[in-house]
Every structure is written in structure tokens, then in C-alpha cells.
Structure 1
């Protein structure tokens, strides 16, 4: 949200800005928008620290701006889901400000307080407990100390969450992306987590037994409205855990970071994850290689090569699943890197910088550690033009069009008919046209010689996709095969999609 399109020159994206780009999104062919947090927030963690669930942060506009955006998106047949953070609130939230006043305050049990904390750790590093001098107790925060966890064992918290969901569903949103939803503290604070090799095993503070009942309540609340959609962020790298949360009464789909956040390219690893999702996921899996929490896909997996990035995109748009494209991927945007602490905006990067200093590291070493964990890499502004935006210099983030040259804005890119943008547009148009690519089952799913290949079928039609990351090769097509995209002369980092 803050990095997409700035309408008033204040350095932050806003609803008027994104409304002005809806024609671009429609032209690209996308059918849905996931909005990162836009509710009122001090923005300690990119808006994931909500201070008021019913008020739009003035940085992004007002409710009227949002209503116009939603109406215009729907007019273009584009659905809109919003990030919803129900695990914690900002400590600026009225609920918390009341809760900290006294131990008998009506809002006290909206949060989790203890005289003596256990050993649970913050996701960002360090202890998950912060001492409050007003009542001489500690409150629990799974993330930053300015983000206090809600107490989901309190029925009043559940009621508040349902009211919030209904408010935005009544406003017209088409669903929610639920942030760290399996982190909900539904069973209170239990035992210390065990340790292994000086690392904490999150046995008791995540996936508590009451989480599924909380999800059922959330899903039933959303299901009272027609044609709504829920995607969940599940904090786990185990497919056995992920699949537990995807069902008709829990979540429609869940993000599988085993696939989406692969750190280093490996066609075999990507294939194994596709195979694992086919074997284990009862519903459609999610397909993505980028998000606001990880380095840019083109740098992380494609070595800055647009042809390889396009080949990876082919998997997302043609394999079985629900594809998600992180903004800027369609134009090949690359990482940015903080050159000083002052340039670092992400709380996770800042926290690791400070932790490194506390361990005796030099500022230079601390900056390296901070950048290693800094999520700003992928949060630079969408490159509509050459202007600086939200504190980022556009020169620090590039669009790589081909092997030998770069440009730095969208309009120049759209003039180049060989660009990654045109490839994305063709792939999206093909998926939107062919029902096989939307609903088809796998008849074949294989991997050989750095090629990932699969055939999908639906209602008597079949489409075959071969994505080649290996040596150049010529493919012998079946008789009467019709090439939909690509070429049977498969070069390295290219693809072919054909229909029998």
C-alpha cells in the first residue's frame, strides 16, 4: 500500500494513487488486489501494528477515498482483499491504553499480563515480554514491544474481532489475508519452550490447541457474506502443519513458504514443492515467489535475469494453484539495500542491527546483520517515473529489461515489446482464457534435466507446460498440437505451453 502510487507527493502511496492505476492493473489482466495494512497505525511494522480497526490511516486517505477505490475496482471486475491483523494491536490502540491503566480495567484481559514471564521469544529476536511500570506486570508481544498480543481466550476479544470483520465486509471488501493467524494465543501462557543447540523450539507459543476453533469462528463470520475469500499466513515450514488449516470450515487457502520463499534457485526443489502440495493440499495451493517479507524474486531466484524470472512466472500462472504476483514483479523490479541505519525502515532489520551491536559487533558488522534480515529489499516504490518516493531513491532499485541494459520507469518498459511486462501480460491473459489453467487437475507432473513439465486437464481439454532451466533443447510435439505460448526450440530459461 505505501509503495504503490502516490497521488499527493507526500512520499507515500494512497487510495487515490492506486485508483489512478486501476486501468494499468486491468490492462495487465489481474483479477484481484491484496492490500497490505491501511488502518490507522504508528507504522512501527509497516502498518501491521493497528491502532484503530475502524479508521483508515490518513497517510492513505479517508473512507471516501477507499469507497471510491473499491467501487472503481469492482467496476473493472477486480476483487479486493485486505490484510487483517488479529494476533496483536499497536500499544497505541485504545484497548491497550485502557488495559495498562490498572489490573481491574475492563480492557485488561484483552491482552496477556504476567508477574513473571516465561522464556518465550519475540519473532524479531529477544524476549517476548515487556515490563510496564504502571501496574508492575509484563505484557506479551510475539513481535515488537509496541505490538501487544491479544488474548484470544477472552470471549470479548473474539466478539471484537467479529465486529471488525463485519464492518469491512459490510464496506464491500471481498475477503481477508489473515496475518500470522496460527500465532493466536488461544490457550494462554503455558510452559517454557524447549531449547535445542541454543535455539528455541516454538512448541507452546504457536499452533495452540484453540487456534482452529478461533479460525472456525472467523470463517463462519466471513461465510455469512456471499462469495468471500480468506487466505491465511501460517507461520510454519511444515506441510503437515499447513494442510491442517486449509478446509471449508477453516481457511480457503494458505501461503506455503516452502515454495514461495525458496532462498536459492533449484528446479528440483521447486518441483519437489509442487509435488508435495499436490500430494498434501486438499484444496488449491498458493503459487508465489515474492512478497513484502522477502527479497525480490528476480534477484533471489533469477540472478537478475528477466528471461529466468519470466520462466519462473510461467510456473505461477500455469501450475495448479492460486497465483499471487507481488507488485513490481511484472516489470522486473530488483532489490534495494540500506547503506546506513538511517536508511533502514523495517523494524526487523533495525532490531537485528541493535542485537548485533549488543553482542559486540561493529556498526559495519551490525549493518550487514541488519540487511540480512531487512525486509525493505522488496519495499521500494513502484517505478512509475523517475521521482524519489517515501525516502527511497529510485536509483537504488532498477528494472532489468534484458541482459545488457536497464531502465527505471514503467512507461519506458511498456514501449519495449520484448520486455518482461509483455510476457507477464501474455501469461495472465492465457490463464484467464483457458479454464484448464484455472481448474485443471494434473495428469502428469515431472522433472528431468532441469525441466519442470506437467499436463493439466479439465472438461476434456488438456494443456502441457514445459519450463526449461537446463540446456537448450528442441521439443518434439504431438501431432496436431497447438502452441499457445513459447516455442518448441526451447532455450535455457524459456518455456512452451501447448494444447492437444
Structure 2
């Protein structure tokens, strides 16, 4: 089986993973030191958020140089050593690529401001912008150039000008960037804003003509031809927030991307009917193109799921992040222990976000003056943004960090949880070890088991079952030959609410 069809992939947000030199910012030295943690956790690959030189106007997604490493993180030589050491530990490496936009400090944009190569971006001359497109970070998507003579398009912050993908030079440049990193051994790319590269200025604004235009598919077919020149199954995973499952599936045709993030599942509330609906919809959307589904609970852009699952409304929506909403963290962690058993038992591959193996919650109460997410400023301080899920994770003897850790995270650190068989960390290690050992898990078919409306249950292979109780009371387990793992203690022989079990089922 292709490794990526059933892999467990761990996301590293470099600034907040591990600090190797004591300056309060995560770096490659720290990441290399912590490779044993990831290997012991039991993941198959690491996905790194951008590690390129950047002014950090948007956490590194404003790239100033696609062929080097941000000096705060380390050097290109260190990156090459990290790739080799990760491979030596049995871990593949996927890196972010950001093709929709670059930094306003990128040499191309600086040249464009001087009148050279303006057609690599979207400029408009005149007293007013050509349309009223809105930035996804809030406010208008057009800003004046410093000389006041033109407007330029930025679907995100003004420091992130959109590239013009109708320009052959832009296309050739990114294929060269892909080769640069493939030659250094990376195993794949996560494509930021994969749906956004092509714009249609002739269509009405209501049609979101800056998202999911048909012309984007030829770009990815061209990229796939580059990738397929390399050995050892290099992969693409796309980031697309699309409402239409059929349009979503077009990106996953055999000559385009290998997989894409399943945000419907991430946003789904902790509700049995809704979970079954989203799982069925996900499987149905992927089946026609033969692509594996992906399952993810948290990432660097969304509220951590321990917090979401401890709230009255357990769904997620960018327009309603529910900052400072009353949260029962004990309930959230109980549900999170069950949720990882659900996601890792479903067909396909699973993504983990750094710190979820420790049961970390969203940090809602960061001091306003420390917030760095551009969403905070662009929204006029009405949206606290994404900094709360980007607080550096605790290892044990931690120094100061660029965003302050809550004091109680000391008890959630890797050091505090190591050796505790009841900890979240031990649970994740057990889940991932069993998933790797169980031949029925990963890619492949599943079948629903009917255990009542409040229970999500399904079988994998001939003798494996996952049972998740979302009802208000204990439920009887189906006939089985053994309990492989539970997310919490059983109630006698029954499964308590918000608890999951993996069973060796009787056929």
C-alpha cells in the first residue's frame, strides 16, 4: 500500500514546537533534539508549517525567499541535516509551500514596486480598486502601493501580495522551487490555499471568483508531473475550504493532488448523527477518484479541539470562534481521548497537531499586546485570531517563550506525562502503536454497526470494531472476543458516555 494512504502525520509549527537555543522561539535545533519524541509517539511523517525567511507578518505564510530557511529557525544546512535525521528515525518530511501569495519583502514584489515585473502580481492603476473583494483576514483585499499610484491585490494581509498565476514566469518559478526541495529529500508538500491561485475578474463577486476556478487544475497536473519524476512516492496534500464535495474531489484526481484536508470533519460538532453524516459524505466524495480520506481534529488555524469539545457548542466556524466561551476542560479532554480513537480508526490517513498528544487547550486569555496574528488587527480587535492555538508546547524545564504558556501546563508537559500510563501522552502512544499493528486500520473499507442513535460504531476488516458512545448514559458493547483499548474506564462491562473502545469483534 502507498505509505500516504494510511499514514499518521504530525504537524509542527516551528516557532512553537521546541526551542534549541534558549531564545524563546522554536527552531531546527530544537526540532532535531525532539525527533525521538515523534518517533516514540508512533507517527509516520512530519509536516512543517513554513520555515522560510519571512518578516512574520502572518506566522511565516508571508514568504520572502522560498529557497532558504528563516534565520531564527536555523540554516539550510541544518534543514538538510534535519531531513536526513528524520529519515533515519523512520519519519518522512512534508513541508508547506505557499503559492497564492508571497511577502511584500520578496525580491519580486520589491522589483514590481520599482516598475519591473509588475505582471507577476495583480496591480490596478486608478483612483479606486477594481472591485470590492474582501480580505480573508478582514478589511478590503486591495491596498495602495507606497507611491499611491496603484492598487495591489492581497486576499490575506497587505504584507502578502497575491501572485499572478497567468504569468508563465510564476509557474516556472514554483516548479523550480519544488525541485529545489525535492532534490534535498523532502517527501512532499502541503499546499497552502490550494484553491486560490486562479482569479477570474470577469465574474461577479458573489461567485467568489478568487477561489476554486477551473484553471487551477492544470497547475496541479503540471506540478504532479514534476513530483512523479522523483522516487519514493513523494506527495501533495491540499488545503481547500470548499463547500461542494464534488468540486473538492476534482483536486484529488489521479494526475493532481494525492490528498486534501477534510475540514468538514474538523468543523463537525460532537454529535452522533452529524459525525455519521460527515463521515459518509467524506467517503462518498473520495470514492469516485480513489483518493484516501484524511481526518484532522486541530491545526495551527483553528481552536484546539480540547476546548471546542468542552463547550456547549462543539462545532467550529471561522466566523464564530467562541473565544472566552465557558469551557469544561475535563469534559473536553475526555472527549478528545475518544476522538483520537475515532479518527485513527477511520479509513485513510490522520493528521495530528503538535501538543494535542498532551491534551493542550486553547489559550484564550493571552494579553492583547502580545497577539501577533494579523486577524486581530485586521478585524479591529473583534476577532482574537489564532495565537491561542500557537502557544509553544511544554516539554518540562522550559524557558521563556514568544507567547507565554499557562502556568498549569507544567503538569501537561512531556516530562510530567512520561511514565504515567493514564496520561494523554500514553494514550496517544497506545492508539498509534495499535493502529500501526492492526492490519485492518489505515486505508481500506469500513462498515457501519447499528448500536443505537447515540452510538457511532463501525467495523474494519474481519474482526475489528470501533465503538464511540455519544449518548447520555452507558451502553452495552457488542459481542466481542476482547477489548483492545478504551479511551477511559468501562462501567462494569458497559461503555460510559464520551468514551470509545476498540474491540476484537466476534463474527
TM-score by length of 1: 0.88
Alpha-carbon RMSD across the aligned residues, in angstroms, is: 1.8
The corresponding residue for 1:219 is: 224
The corresponding residue for 2:119 is: 109
How far did 1:251 drift? 1.1
The corresponding residue for 2:56 is: 43
Partners in 2 of 1:35 and 1:379 — Cα distance?
13
Residues 321-380 of structure 1, C-alpha deviation per residue, up to 9 Å, x if partnerless?
21001011111011112444312111112211x2xxxxxxxxxxx4xx222xx1112101
SS at match of 2:344: helix
- Structure 1's consecutive aligned runs of 4 or more residues displaced over 4 angstroms after TM superposition are none
How far did 1:447 drift? 6.8
Partners in 2 of 1:238 and 1:446 — Cα distance?
28
The corresponding residue for 1:387 is: 398
How far did 1:446 drift? 5.2
8 Å contact from structure 1 (residues 284, 321) kept in 2: yes
Partners in 1 of 2:203 and 2:140 — Cα distance?
15
When structure 1 is superposed on structure 2, of 109-118 and 51-60 the one drifting more is 109-118
Q: Are residue 314 (structure 1) and residue 341 (structure 2) matched?
A: yes
Partners in 2 of 1:215 and 1:2 — Cα distance?
29
Residues 118-151 of structure 1, C-alpha deviation per residue, up to 9 Å, x if partnerless?
1211111111111114471211111111100010
8 Å contact from structure 1 (residues 54, 164) kept in 2: yes
**For residues 327-342 of structure 1, what are the structure 2 equivalents within 5 Å?**
327-342=354-369
Partners in 2 of 1:408 and 1:456 — Cα distance?
33
SS at match of 1:273: helix
Q: Sort the Cα spacing of 1:231 and 1:397 in 2 relative to 1 into closer, same or farther, 3 A.
A: farther
Q: Are residue 189 (structure 1) and residue 210 (structure 2) matched?
A: no
8 Å contact from structure 1 (residues 124, 144) kept in 2: yes
Q: Are residue 241 (structure 1) and residue 242 (structure 2) matched?
A: no
Q: Sort the Cα spacing of 1:338 and 1:476 in 2 relative to 1 into closer, same or farther, 3 A.
A: closer
Partners in 2 of 1:96 and 1:447 — Cα distance?
59
Gaps of 5+ in 1: 195-201, 355-365, 400-406
When structure 1 is superposed on structure 2, of 107-116 and 84-93 the one drifting more is 107-116
**For residues 4-403 of structure 1, what are the structure 2 equivalents within 5 Å?**
4-102=17-115, 105=116, 107-115=117-125, 116-134=129-147, 136-185=149-198, 187-194=199-206, 202-226=207-231, 227-262=233-268, 264-282=269-287, 283-302=291-310, 303-304=328-329, 305=331, 306-352=333-379, 354=380, 366=381, 369-371=382-384, 374-385=385-396, 387-395=398-406, 398=409
SS at match of 2:448: strand
Residues 208-236 of structure 1, C-alpha deviation per residue, up to 9 Å, x if partnerless?
22111111112221121121111100132
How far did 1:60 drift? 0.5
Residues 174-199 of structure 1, C-alpha deviation per residue, up to 9 Å, x if partnerless?
000000011002x55334403xxxxx
Gaps of 5+ in 2: 1-13, 311-327
Aligned length: 460
The corresponding residue for 1:440 is: 444
How far did 1:397 drift? 6.6
Residues 306-331 of structure 1, C-alpha deviation per residue, up to 9 Å, x if partnerless?
22111001011111121001011111
How far did 1:278 drift? 1.4
Partners in 1 of 2:364 and 2:498 — Cα distance?
27
SS at match of 1:448: coil
Partners in 2 of 1:476 and 1:221 — Cα distance?
49
Structure number with higher strand proportion: 1
Residues 96-120 of structure 1, C-alpha deviation per residue, up to 9 Å, x if partnerless?
1111111xx2x22111111242121
The corresponding residue for 2:457 is: 453
Residues 263-294 of structure 1, C-alpha deviation per residue, up to 9 Å, x if partnerless?
x4323222211111112212211101100001
Partners in 2 of 1:238 and 1:467 — Cα distance?
28
Partners in 2 of 1:396 and 1:343 — Cα distance?
17
Partners in 2 of 1:23 and 1:287 — Cα distance?
24
TM-score by length of 2: 0.87
The corresponding residue for 1:485 is: 485
